[in-house]
Structure 1
Protein backbone atom coordinates (compact mmCIF):
# COMPACT_ATOMS: atom_id res chain seq x y z
CA UNK A 1 0.00 0.00 0.00
CA UNK A 2 1.27 3.47 -0.84
CA UNK A 3 1.69 5.77 2.13
CA UNK A 4 2.79 9.31 3.03
CA UNK A 5 6.48 8.44 3.54
CA UNK A 6 7.91 11.00 1.07
CA UNK A 7 6.69 13.86 3.28
CA UNK A 8 8.01 15.20 6.59
CA UNK A 9 4.58 15.91 8.10
CA UNK A 10 1.79 13.38 7.82
CA UNK A 11 -1.74 12.69 9.03
CA UNK A 12 -3.08 9.28 10.05
CA UNK A 13 -6.34 8.29 11.78
CA UNK A 14 -6.91 6.18 14.87
CA UNK A 15 -5.11 3.19 16.31
CA UNK A 16 -4.12 1.69 12.97
CA UNK A 17 -2.71 5.01 11.84
CA UNK A 18 -0.78 5.36 15.10
CA UNK A 19 0.77 1.94 14.63
CA UNK A 20 1.65 2.72 11.03
CA UNK A 21 3.42 5.91 12.08
CA UNK A 22 5.22 4.14 14.93
CA UNK A 23 6.51 1.47 12.55
CA UNK A 24 7.91 4.24 10.35
CA UNK A 25 9.79 5.64 13.33
CA UNK A 26 7.94 8.95 13.29
CA UNK A 27 7.42 11.36 16.13
CA UNK A 28 3.68 11.05 16.85
CA UNK A 29 1.24 13.66 18.15
CA UNK A 30 -1.93 11.99 19.46
CA UNK A 31 -4.97 14.29 19.29
CA UNK A 32 -8.13 13.51 21.24
CA UNK A 33 -9.75 16.84 22.06
CA UNK A 34 -12.85 15.50 23.89
CA UNK A 35 -11.08 14.64 25.97
CA UNK A 36 -8.04 12.36 26.53
CA UNK A 37 -5.41 14.80 25.21
CA UNK A 38 -7.06 17.79 26.86
CA UNK A 39 -7.26 15.92 30.17
CA UNK A 40 -3.64 14.76 30.00
CA UNK A 41 -2.58 18.34 29.21
CA UNK A 42 -4.57 19.75 32.13
CA UNK A 43 -3.20 17.08 34.48
CA UNK A 44 0.34 17.89 33.30
CA UNK A 45 -0.20 21.56 34.12
CA UNK A 46 -0.83 20.53 37.72
CA UNK A 47 2.16 18.18 37.82
CA UNK A 48 0.14 14.96 37.86
CA UNK A 49 1.76 11.88 36.25
CA UNK A 50 -0.47 10.04 33.78
CA UNK A 51 0.11 6.42 32.73
CA UNK A 52 -2.02 5.66 29.63
CA UNK A 53 -3.41 2.14 29.52
CA UNK A 54 -5.52 0.41 26.87
CA UNK A 55 -9.24 0.11 27.60
CA UNK A 56 -11.36 -1.14 29.21
CA UNK A 57 -10.94 -0.43 32.91
CA UNK A 58 -10.74 -4.02 34.14
CA UNK A 59 -8.79 -6.15 36.57
CA UNK A 60 -5.63 -5.84 34.43
CA UNK A 61 -5.76 -2.04 34.49
CA UNK A 62 -6.52 -1.98 38.22
CA UNK A 63 -3.70 -4.43 38.93
CA UNK A 64 -1.29 -2.30 36.91
CA UNK A 65 -2.32 0.80 38.88
CA UNK A 66 -1.80 -1.07 42.13
CA UNK A 67 1.65 -2.30 41.06
CA UNK A 68 2.93 1.21 40.32
CA UNK A 69 1.20 2.87 43.25
CA UNK A 70 -1.25 4.85 41.11
CA UNK A 71 -4.94 5.66 41.22
CA UNK A 72 -7.35 4.79 38.44
CA UNK A 73 -8.85 7.57 36.37
CA UNK A 74 -12.50 6.61 36.02
CA UNK A 75 -15.02 7.49 33.38
CA UNK A 76 -17.14 10.50 34.24
CA UNK A 77 -20.08 8.46 35.59
CA UNK A 78 -17.84 6.07 37.53
CA UNK A 79 -15.95 8.97 39.11
CA UNK A 80 -19.17 10.29 40.59
CA UNK A 81 -19.52 6.91 42.32
CA UNK A 82 -15.89 6.19 43.31
CA UNK A 83 -14.53 9.74 43.60
CA UNK A 84 -11.23 11.15 42.34
CA UNK A 85 -10.22 12.41 38.89
CA UNK A 86 -12.02 11.22 35.79
CA UNK A 87 -11.67 11.67 32.03
CA UNK A 88 -13.04 15.16 32.67
CA UNK A 89 -10.09 17.58 32.63
CA UNK A 90 -11.79 19.74 35.25
CA UNK A 91 -11.48 16.98 37.87
CA UNK A 92 -7.71 17.44 38.08
CA UNK A 93 -6.51 19.92 40.70
CA UNK A 94 -3.26 21.47 41.97
CA UNK A 95 -3.37 18.98 44.85
CA UNK A 96 -2.71 16.19 42.31
CA UNK A 97 0.89 17.34 41.80
CA UNK A 98 3.29 14.41 41.95
CA UNK A 99 0.51 11.82 42.14
CA UNK A 100 0.33 8.91 39.69
CA UNK A 101 -2.80 8.05 37.72
CA UNK A 102 -3.64 5.29 35.24
CA UNK A 103 -5.91 6.54 32.47
CA UNK A 104 -7.82 4.28 30.08
CA UNK A 105 -9.89 5.62 27.22
CA UNK A 106 -11.39 4.11 24.08
CA UNK A 107 -9.63 6.55 21.78
CA UNK A 108 -6.72 8.59 23.11
CA UNK A 109 -5.24 5.99 25.45
CA UNK A 110 -5.77 3.26 22.86
CA UNK A 111 -3.98 5.29 20.17
CA UNK A 112 -1.16 6.14 22.57
CA UNK A 113 -0.72 2.45 23.38
CA UNK A 114 -0.60 1.64 19.65
CA UNK A 115 2.11 4.28 19.22
CA UNK A 116 4.38 3.31 22.12
CA UNK A 117 7.19 2.09 19.84
CA UNK A 118 7.39 5.46 18.07
CA UNK A 119 10.42 7.74 18.29
CA UNK A 120 8.33 9.96 20.59
CA UNK A 121 4.66 10.31 21.52
CA UNK A 122 3.10 13.66 22.46
CA UNK A 123 -0.43 14.46 23.62
CA UNK A 124 -1.74 17.40 21.59
CA UNK A 125 -5.02 19.30 21.68
CA UNK A 126 -6.35 22.79 21.02
CA UNK A 127 -5.25 24.03 24.44
CA UNK A 128 -1.54 23.32 23.85
CA UNK A 129 -1.37 23.30 20.04
CA UNK A 130 1.36 25.93 19.61
CA UNK A 131 3.51 24.59 22.46
CA UNK A 132 3.27 21.05 21.06
CA UNK A 133 4.13 22.15 17.52
CA UNK A 134 7.17 24.10 18.76
CA UNK A 135 8.41 21.09 20.73
CA UNK A 136 7.79 18.74 17.79
CA UNK A 137 9.72 21.01 15.42
CA UNK A 138 12.66 21.08 17.83
CA UNK A 139 12.70 17.34 18.46
CA UNK A 140 12.16 16.47 14.80
CA UNK A 141 15.30 18.41 13.92
CA UNK A 142 17.31 16.86 16.76
CA UNK A 143 16.18 13.28 16.14
CA UNK A 144 15.96 13.46 12.35
CA UNK A 145 12.43 12.08 12.52
CA UNK A 146 9.31 12.90 10.54
CA UNK A 147 6.13 13.93 12.39
CA UNK A 148 2.74 12.25 12.13
CA UNK A 149 -0.32 13.83 13.70
CA UNK A 150 -2.96 11.25 14.67
CA UNK A 151 -6.53 12.46 15.27
CA UNK A 152 -8.06 9.66 17.31
CA UNK A 153 -11.71 10.05 16.39
CA UNK A 154 -14.58 8.34 18.19
CA UNK A 155 -16.15 4.86 18.18
CA UNK A 156 -19.50 3.82 16.76
CA UNK A 157 -21.60 2.10 19.42
CA UNK A 158 -23.18 -0.60 17.28
CA UNK A 159 -21.09 -1.60 14.24
CA UNK A 160 -21.86 -4.86 12.49
CA UNK A 161 -19.26 -7.58 12.27
CA UNK A 162 -18.09 -6.30 8.87
CA UNK A 163 -17.81 -2.62 9.83
CA UNK A 164 -14.97 -0.51 11.18
CA UNK A 165 -15.67 1.09 14.58
CA UNK A 166 -13.81 4.35 13.85
CA UNK A 167 -15.97 7.47 13.59
CA UNK A 168 -13.84 10.47 12.53
CA UNK A 169 -14.48 13.54 14.68
CA UNK A 170 -14.11 17.12 13.49
CA UNK A 171 -12.83 18.18 16.92
CA UNK A 172 -9.71 16.07 16.47
CA UNK A 173 -9.37 16.90 12.77
CA UNK A 174 -9.46 20.67 13.34
CA UNK A 175 -6.99 20.51 16.23
CA UNK A 176 -4.72 18.33 14.07
CA UNK A 177 -4.96 20.93 11.31
CA UNK A 178 -3.92 23.70 13.69
CA UNK A 179 -0.90 21.71 14.90
CA UNK A 180 0.08 20.72 11.36
CA UNK A 181 -0.13 24.35 10.23
CA UNK A 182 2.67 25.16 12.69
CA UNK A 183 4.96 22.25 11.82
CA UNK A 184 8.07 22.69 9.69
CA UNK A 185 8.79 20.59 6.63
CA UNK A 186 6.91 19.28 3.64
CA UNK A 187 3.32 18.20 4.23
CA UNK A 188 1.56 15.25 2.64
CA UNK A 189 -1.65 15.88 0.68
CA UNK A 190 -3.58 14.42 3.61
CA UNK A 191 -1.88 16.88 5.97
CA UNK A 192 -2.44 19.80 3.59
CA UNK A 193 -6.17 19.10 3.39
CA UNK A 194 -6.33 18.89 7.19
CA UNK A 195 -4.59 22.27 7.47
CA UNK A 196 -7.03 23.62 4.91
CA UNK A 197 -9.99 22.48 7.01
CA UNK A 198 -8.57 24.33 10.01
CA UNK A 199 -7.77 27.48 8.03
CA UNK A 200 -11.27 27.56 6.57
CA UNK A 201 -12.79 27.15 10.04
CA UNK A 202 -10.28 29.04 12.18
CA UNK A 203 -12.59 31.93 13.06
CA UNK A 204 -15.27 29.66 14.53
CA UNK A 205 -13.46 26.46 15.51
CA UNK A 206 -14.81 26.61 19.06
CA UNK A 207 -18.40 27.06 17.90
CA UNK A 208 -18.13 24.22 15.39
CA UNK A 209 -16.79 21.77 17.97
CA UNK A 210 -19.30 22.94 20.58
CA UNK A 211 -22.14 22.04 18.18
CA UNK A 212 -20.50 18.93 16.71
CA UNK A 213 -21.85 15.47 17.44
CA UNK A 214 -19.14 14.86 20.04
CA UNK A 215 -19.68 18.25 21.66
CA UNK A 216 -23.45 17.85 21.83
CA UNK A 217 -23.13 14.37 23.28
CA UNK A 218 -21.05 15.61 26.21
CA UNK A 219 -23.23 18.67 26.75
CA UNK A 220 -26.40 16.61 26.81
CA UNK A 221 -24.84 14.32 29.39
CA UNK A 222 -24.25 17.33 31.63
CA UNK A 223 -20.59 18.07 30.83
CA UNK A 224 -20.84 21.41 29.05
CA UNK A 225 -18.01 22.81 31.19
CA UNK A 226 -15.71 20.09 29.83
CA UNK A 227 -16.50 21.08 26.25
CA UNK A 228 -15.94 24.77 26.99
CA UNK A 229 -12.58 23.95 28.59
CA UNK A 230 -11.41 21.73 25.74
CA UNK A 231 -12.30 24.07 22.85
CA UNK A 232 -10.05 26.90 24.06
CA UNK A 233 -6.97 27.41 21.90
CA UNK A 234 -3.40 27.92 23.14
CA UNK A 235 -4.20 28.31 26.82
CA UNK A 236 -1.53 25.87 27.99
CA UNK A 237 2.26 25.61 27.74
CA UNK A 238 2.23 21.96 28.84
CA UNK A 239 3.73 19.44 26.41
CA UNK A 240 3.00 15.91 27.70
CA UNK A 241 5.59 13.50 26.27
CA UNK A 242 5.48 9.74 26.84
CA UNK A 243 8.56 8.49 28.70
CA UNK A 244 8.84 5.04 30.29
CA UNK A 245 5.10 4.54 30.03
CA UNK A 246 4.06 7.87 31.54
CA UNK A 247 3.41 11.37 30.28
CA UNK A 248 5.95 13.94 31.47
CA UNK A 249 5.56 17.67 30.87
CA UNK A 250 8.37 18.95 28.63
CA UNK A 251 6.90 22.39 28.10
CA UNK A 252 7.06 24.18 31.45
CA UNK A 253 9.70 26.64 30.36
CA UNK A 254 8.50 27.05 26.81
CA UNK A 255 6.43 29.87 25.34
CA UNK A 256 3.34 29.61 23.14
CA UNK A 257 1.66 32.33 21.11
CA UNK A 258 -1.79 33.19 22.39
CA UNK A 259 -4.66 33.18 19.93
CA UNK A 260 -6.59 36.36 19.40
Structure 2
Protein backbone atom coordinates (compact mmCIF):
# COMPACT_ATOMS: atom_id res chain seq x y z
CA UNK A 1 0.00 0.00 0.00
CA UNK A 2 1.20 3.50 -0.82
CA UNK A 3 1.22 5.36 2.51
CA UNK A 4 0.45 8.62 0.68
CA UNK A 5 -2.77 7.49 -1.04
CA UNK A 6 -4.97 8.12 2.05
CA UNK A 7 -6.47 4.63 1.85
CA UNK A 8 -8.93 3.23 2.90
CA UNK A 9 -10.85 6.50 3.22
CA UNK A 10 -13.62 7.50 0.81
CA UNK A 11 -13.05 11.26 1.01
CA UNK A 12 -9.53 12.58 0.47
CA UNK A 13 -7.77 15.91 0.08
CA UNK A 14 -4.51 16.70 -1.71
CA UNK A 15 -2.53 19.54 -3.29
CA UNK A 16 -1.57 20.66 -6.76
CA UNK A 17 -0.60 18.89 -9.97
CA UNK A 18 1.12 15.95 -8.26
CA UNK A 19 -1.85 15.34 -5.98
CA UNK A 20 -4.20 15.43 -8.97
CA UNK A 21 -1.99 13.06 -10.96
CA UNK A 22 -1.79 10.55 -8.10
CA UNK A 23 -5.57 10.61 -7.60
CA UNK A 24 -6.00 10.00 -11.33
CA UNK A 25 -3.70 6.97 -11.18
CA UNK A 26 -6.10 5.55 -8.60
CA UNK A 27 -9.08 6.30 -10.91
CA UNK A 28 -10.80 8.42 -8.26
CA UNK A 29 -13.46 11.08 -8.64
CA UNK A 30 -11.67 14.44 -8.59
CA UNK A 31 -12.79 17.95 -7.69
CA UNK A 32 -10.34 20.71 -8.70
CA UNK A 33 -10.47 23.86 -6.54
CA UNK A 34 -8.94 27.19 -7.60
CA UNK A 35 -11.09 29.84 -5.91
CA UNK A 36 -9.20 32.90 -7.26
CA UNK A 37 -10.24 32.58 -9.97
CA UNK A 38 -10.27 29.63 -12.40
CA UNK A 39 -12.91 27.55 -10.58
CA UNK A 40 -15.15 30.54 -9.93
CA UNK A 41 -14.85 31.73 -13.53
CA UNK A 42 -15.57 28.30 -15.01
CA UNK A 43 -18.60 27.98 -12.75
CA UNK A 44 -19.93 31.39 -13.83
CA UNK A 45 -19.23 30.67 -17.50
CA UNK A 46 -20.93 27.26 -17.48
CA UNK A 47 -23.82 28.76 -15.50
CA UNK A 48 -24.30 31.09 -18.46
CA UNK A 49 -24.21 28.24 -20.98
CA UNK A 50 -20.61 28.64 -22.15
CA UNK A 51 -18.39 25.66 -23.02
CA UNK A 52 -14.92 25.91 -21.47
CA UNK A 53 -11.79 24.14 -22.73
CA UNK A 54 -9.00 24.32 -20.11
CA UNK A 55 -5.45 24.82 -21.41
CA UNK A 56 -2.46 24.68 -19.03
CA UNK A 57 0.65 26.35 -20.47
CA UNK A 58 -0.66 29.90 -20.65
CA UNK A 59 -1.47 32.23 -23.51
CA UNK A 60 1.10 31.09 -26.05
CA UNK A 61 0.93 30.34 -29.75
CA UNK A 62 0.01 26.79 -28.74
CA UNK A 63 -3.05 28.08 -26.90
CA UNK A 64 -4.08 29.97 -30.01
CA UNK A 65 -3.57 26.89 -32.15
CA UNK A 66 -5.61 24.82 -29.70
CA UNK A 67 -8.43 27.39 -29.72
CA UNK A 68 -8.49 27.30 -33.52
CA UNK A 69 -8.55 23.51 -33.46
CA UNK A 70 -11.50 23.50 -31.05
CA UNK A 71 -13.33 26.27 -32.89
CA UNK A 72 -13.21 28.30 -29.69
CA UNK A 73 -12.30 31.82 -28.61
CA UNK A 74 -9.07 32.20 -26.64
CA UNK A 75 -9.78 33.96 -23.34
CA UNK A 76 -7.45 36.95 -22.82
CA UNK A 77 -5.73 38.32 -19.73
CA UNK A 78 -7.55 40.65 -17.37
CA UNK A 79 -5.56 43.67 -18.54
CA UNK A 80 -6.34 43.09 -22.20
CA UNK A 81 -9.97 42.33 -21.38
CA UNK A 82 -10.40 45.79 -19.85
CA UNK A 83 -9.34 47.34 -23.17
CA UNK A 84 -11.14 44.96 -25.52
CA UNK A 85 -14.18 43.80 -23.57
CA UNK A 86 -13.32 40.17 -24.30
CA UNK A 87 -13.74 37.34 -21.77
CA UNK A 88 -10.94 36.83 -19.25
CA UNK A 89 -10.24 35.00 -15.98
CA UNK A 90 -12.67 37.47 -14.41
CA UNK A 91 -16.01 35.78 -13.64
CA UNK A 92 -17.77 39.01 -14.61
CA UNK A 93 -16.58 38.66 -18.20
CA UNK A 94 -19.06 35.83 -18.78
CA UNK A 95 -22.77 36.58 -19.15
CA UNK A 96 -25.86 35.43 -21.03
CA UNK A 97 -24.09 36.53 -24.22
CA UNK A 98 -21.67 33.63 -23.66
CA UNK A 99 -24.41 31.01 -24.08
CA UNK A 100 -23.56 28.33 -26.62
CA UNK A 101 -20.10 29.73 -27.28
CA UNK A 102 -16.82 27.86 -26.75
CA UNK A 103 -13.77 29.33 -25.02
CA UNK A 104 -10.22 28.21 -24.23
CA UNK A 105 -9.29 29.28 -20.71
CA UNK A 106 -5.58 29.19 -19.84
CA UNK A 107 -4.32 28.53 -16.34
CA UNK A 108 -0.91 27.49 -15.02
CA UNK A 109 -2.44 25.91 -11.91
CA UNK A 110 -6.01 24.63 -12.26
CA UNK A 111 -5.85 23.79 -15.97
CA UNK A 112 -2.55 22.03 -15.34
CA UNK A 113 -4.23 19.97 -12.61
CA UNK A 114 -7.01 19.10 -15.06
CA UNK A 115 -4.50 18.05 -17.73
CA UNK A 116 -2.72 15.81 -15.22
CA UNK A 117 -5.88 14.03 -14.08
CA UNK A 118 -8.55 14.01 -16.77
CA UNK A 119 -8.76 10.24 -17.32
CA UNK A 120 -10.92 9.47 -14.30
CA UNK A 121 -14.54 8.42 -13.64
CA UNK A 122 -15.44 12.10 -13.25
CA UNK A 123 -13.58 15.39 -12.94
CA UNK A 124 -15.40 18.40 -11.49
CA UNK A 125 -14.59 22.04 -10.88
CA UNK A 126 -15.42 23.32 -7.41
CA UNK A 127 -15.40 26.69 -5.69
CA UNK A 128 -17.05 28.47 -2.78
CA UNK A 129 -19.76 29.49 -5.26
CA UNK A 130 -20.90 25.91 -5.85
CA UNK A 131 -19.53 23.97 -2.86
CA UNK A 132 -22.77 22.14 -2.08
CA UNK A 133 -23.72 21.55 -5.72
CA UNK A 134 -20.39 20.05 -6.71
CA UNK A 135 -20.27 17.87 -3.59
CA UNK A 136 -23.72 16.47 -4.41
CA UNK A 137 -22.71 15.84 -8.02
CA UNK A 138 -19.56 13.98 -6.97
CA UNK A 139 -21.53 11.89 -4.48
CA UNK A 140 -23.98 10.90 -7.21
CA UNK A 141 -21.09 9.53 -9.27
CA UNK A 142 -19.60 7.85 -6.22
CA UNK A 143 -22.90 6.06 -5.60
CA UNK A 144 -22.58 4.49 -9.09
CA UNK A 145 -18.85 3.75 -9.13
CA UNK A 146 -17.97 3.23 -5.48
CA UNK A 147 -14.76 5.19 -6.07
CA UNK A 148 -13.27 7.61 -3.51
CA UNK A 149 -13.51 11.37 -4.01
CA UNK A 150 -10.33 13.45 -3.88
CA UNK A 151 -10.60 17.22 -3.54
CA UNK A 152 -7.56 19.00 -4.97
CA UNK A 153 -6.57 22.44 -3.70
CA UNK A 154 -4.58 23.85 -6.62
CA UNK A 155 -2.47 26.38 -4.79
CA UNK A 156 -0.27 28.96 -6.50
CA UNK A 157 3.29 29.00 -7.84
CA UNK A 158 6.27 30.79 -6.39
CA UNK A 159 7.82 33.30 -8.75
CA UNK A 160 11.35 32.49 -9.89
CA UNK A 161 12.02 29.51 -7.61
CA UNK A 162 15.56 28.18 -7.53
CA UNK A 163 16.16 24.67 -8.83
CA UNK A 164 16.17 23.11 -5.34
CA UNK A 165 12.88 24.74 -4.24
CA UNK A 166 9.29 23.56 -4.52
CA UNK A 167 7.19 25.40 -7.09
CA UNK A 168 3.87 24.98 -5.24
CA UNK A 169 2.81 27.78 -2.90
CA UNK A 170 -0.10 26.53 -0.76
CA UNK A 171 -2.93 29.06 -0.71
CA UNK A 172 -5.56 29.37 2.01
CA UNK A 173 -8.36 30.33 -0.38
CA UNK A 174 -8.09 26.98 -2.15
CA UNK A 175 -7.68 25.12 1.14
CA UNK A 176 -10.81 26.75 2.57
CA UNK A 177 -12.68 26.19 -0.69
CA UNK A 178 -11.73 22.53 -0.56
CA UNK A 179 -12.85 22.39 3.06
CA UNK A 180 -16.21 23.91 2.17
CA UNK A 181 -16.79 21.17 -0.40
CA UNK A 182 -15.59 18.40 1.92
CA UNK A 183 -18.04 19.61 4.59
CA UNK A 184 -20.86 18.46 2.28
CA UNK A 185 -19.33 15.10 1.39
CA UNK A 186 -20.44 11.97 3.21
CA UNK A 187 -18.23 8.98 3.89
CA UNK A 188 -15.07 8.32 5.84
CA UNK A 189 -12.69 11.29 5.81
CA UNK A 190 -8.94 10.90 5.61
CA UNK A 191 -7.07 12.90 8.27
CA UNK A 192 -6.07 15.35 5.50
CA UNK A 193 -9.71 15.82 4.46
CA UNK A 194 -10.91 16.07 8.07
CA UNK A 195 -8.44 18.80 9.01
CA UNK A 196 -9.25 20.69 5.79
CA UNK A 197 -12.98 20.61 6.49
CA UNK A 198 -12.42 21.70 10.09
CA UNK A 199 -10.31 24.62 8.89
CA UNK A 200 -13.29 25.77 6.84
CA UNK A 201 -15.76 25.27 9.72
CA UNK A 202 -13.53 27.22 12.11
CA UNK A 203 -13.00 30.02 9.58
CA UNK A 204 -16.51 30.24 8.12
CA UNK A 205 -17.52 33.38 10.04
CA UNK A 206 -14.32 35.17 8.96
CA UNK A 207 -14.10 33.73 5.45
CA UNK A 208 -14.49 37.03 3.62
CA UNK A 209 -11.83 38.95 5.56
CA UNK A 210 -9.40 36.02 5.58
CA UNK A 211 -9.47 35.54 1.82
CA UNK A 212 -9.43 39.26 1.01
CA UNK A 213 -6.40 39.68 3.26
CA UNK A 214 -4.49 36.57 2.20
CA UNK A 215 -1.66 36.79 -0.35
CA UNK A 216 -3.77 35.81 -3.37
CA UNK A 217 -6.64 38.11 -2.42
CA UNK A 218 -4.35 41.06 -1.78
CA UNK A 219 -2.58 40.49 -5.09
CA UNK A 220 -5.82 40.73 -7.09
CA UNK A 221 -7.11 43.68 -5.07
CA UNK A 222 -3.85 45.61 -5.51
CA UNK A 223 -4.03 44.95 -9.26
CA UNK A 224 -7.47 46.57 -9.33
CA UNK A 225 -9.63 43.43 -9.36
CA UNK A 226 -11.30 43.67 -5.97
CA UNK A 227 -14.67 43.00 -7.60
CA UNK A 228 -13.43 39.57 -8.70
CA UNK A 229 -12.39 38.71 -5.16
CA UNK A 230 -15.76 39.78 -3.77
CA UNK A 231 -17.57 37.68 -6.38
CA UNK A 232 -15.47 34.59 -5.71
CA UNK A 233 -16.21 34.87 -1.98
CA UNK A 234 -19.92 34.19 -2.50
CA UNK A 235 -20.93 30.94 -0.86
CA UNK A 236 -23.35 28.41 -2.39
CA UNK A 237 -24.89 30.89 -4.80
CA UNK A 238 -24.60 28.53 -7.79
CA UNK A 239 -26.29 25.19 -8.43
CA UNK A 240 -23.88 24.39 -11.29
CA UNK A 241 -21.29 21.61 -11.07
CA UNK A 242 -18.97 21.84 -14.10
CA UNK A 243 -17.83 18.40 -15.27
CA UNK A 244 -15.19 17.55 -17.85
CA UNK A 245 -16.65 15.93 -20.97
CA UNK A 246 -14.75 15.59 -24.26
CA UNK A 247 -11.97 17.87 -22.92
CA UNK A 248 -14.37 20.70 -22.04
CA UNK A 249 -16.40 21.72 -19.01
CA UNK A 250 -20.18 21.57 -19.25
CA UNK A 251 -22.93 21.49 -16.64
CA UNK A 252 -23.47 18.19 -14.81
CA UNK A 253 -26.90 16.56 -14.86
CA UNK A 254 -27.61 13.29 -13.06
CA UNK A 255 -29.48 11.74 -15.98
CA UNK A 256 -26.84 12.52 -18.63
CA UNK A 257 -23.93 10.43 -19.87
CA UNK A 258 -20.62 12.15 -20.38
CA UNK A 259 -17.93 11.59 -22.95
CA UNK A 260 -15.17 11.76 -20.39
CA UNK A 261 -14.99 8.32 -18.80
CA UNK A 262 -18.01 7.81 -16.54
CA UNK A 263 -19.99 5.57 -18.87
CA UNK A 264 -16.84 3.71 -19.96
CA UNK A 265 -15.91 3.17 -16.31
CA UNK A 266 -19.38 1.85 -15.48
CA UNK A 267 -19.31 -0.57 -18.39
CA UNK A 268 -16.09 -2.23 -17.24
- 1:34 and 1:227 in contact (8 A); partners too: yes
CA–CA distance in 2 between the matches of 1:191 and 1:73?
33
CA–CA distance in 1 between the matches of 2:84 and 2:93?
13
> What residue in structure 2 maps to residue 63 of structure 1?
65
Task: Structure 1: give runs of 5+ residues left out of the alignment.
Answer: 254-260
Q: Secondary structure at the match of 1:19?
A: helix
- Relative distance call for 1:252 and 1:230 in structure 2 (3 A) is farther
Which of 14, 35, 57 is residue 12 of structure 1 equivalent to? 14
> How many Å apart are 1:242 and its aligned residue?
0.2
Q: Secondary structure at the match of 1:12?
A: strand
CA–CA distance in 2 between the matches of 1:19 and 1:122?
14
> What residue in structure 2 maps to residue 218 of structure 1?
220
- 2:140 and 2:254 in contact (8 A); partners too: no
> What residue in structure 2 maps to residue 95 of structure 1?
97
* Mapped pair 1:109 → 2:111: yes
CA–CA distance in 2 between the matches of 1:225 and 1:82?
18
Which of 40, 43, 48 is residue 41 of structure 1 equivalent to? 43
- Relative distance call for 1:251 and 1:38 in structure 2 (3 A) is farther
Which shifted more, 25-34 or 135-144?
135-144
> What residue in structure 2 maps to residue 256 of structure 1?
none
- 1:238 and 1:251 in contact (8 A); partners too: no
Which shifted more, 145-154 or 108-117?
108-117
> How many Å apart are 1:83 and its aligned residue?
4.0
CA–CA distance in 2 between the matches of 1:166 and 1:190?
18
Q: Taking structure 1 as the reference length, what is the TM-score of the superposition?
A: 0.94
- 1:65 and 1:71 in contact (8 A); partners too: yes
- 1:240 and 1:251 in contact (8 A); partners too: no
CA–CA distance in 1 between the matches of 2:158 and 2:118?
24
CA–CA distance in 2 between the matches of 1:83 and 1:228?
20
**Deviations, residues 102-148 of structure 1 (Å, cap 9, x unaligned):** 01111111111111112211000000000011111111111211100
* RMSD of Structure 2 on Structure 1 (CA): 1.4
> How many Å apart are 1:80 and its aligned residue?
3.2
Instruction: Name segments (4+ residues, structure 1) moved above 4 Å.
Output: none
> How many Å apart are 1:82 and its aligned residue?
4.8
How many residues get paired? 253
> How many Å apart are 1:40 and its aligned residue?
0.1
